Amino acid sequence: MSGMSDLLPGMLDLLLRSFYAALEVWITIDRLKRAARLVTGSDQLVEVPPDPRPLPLAAQRALAEAESRKAALD
């Protein structure tokens, strides 16, 4: 049993250090959110749409044809 009693303080230390590290990460994230609210003046997260992909050449030609036909009708 002496082997197990030697491991117990080390395991407890590891558990407490892991808990402390997780708590530090959580506090840091919370502080960053608060700083963002102060800087932006908003407490809402806004999702930004991705940048549009450029049209393929065939689609660009088709769009140009459609626009020229529409211009010819007007």
SS3 of residue 49 by DSSP: coil
Which residues form the domain of 38?
A: 1-43
Question: Looking at residue 47, what DSSP letter applies?
Answer: P
Note whether residue 54 is domain-resident: no
Whole-number pLDDT of residue 69: 92
Span 34-53, average pLDDT:
82
Q: The pTM is what?
A: 0.48
| Residue 14 falls inside a structural domain | yes
59 belongs to a structural domain: no
Could you give the number of structural domains in the chain? 1
Q: pLDDT at residue 1 above 90?
A: no
For the cut 70, the answer to whether the pLDDT of residue 60 exceeds it is yes
Residue 4 in any domain: the answer is yes
Could you give the C-alpha distances from 2 to 5, 7, 15, 34, 66, in angstroms and in order?
A: 5, 9, 20, 49, 85
User: In this structure, is residue 53 part of a structural domain?
Assistant: no
Domain membership of residue 16 (yes or no) is: yes
Q: Domain for residue 55, yes or no?
A: no
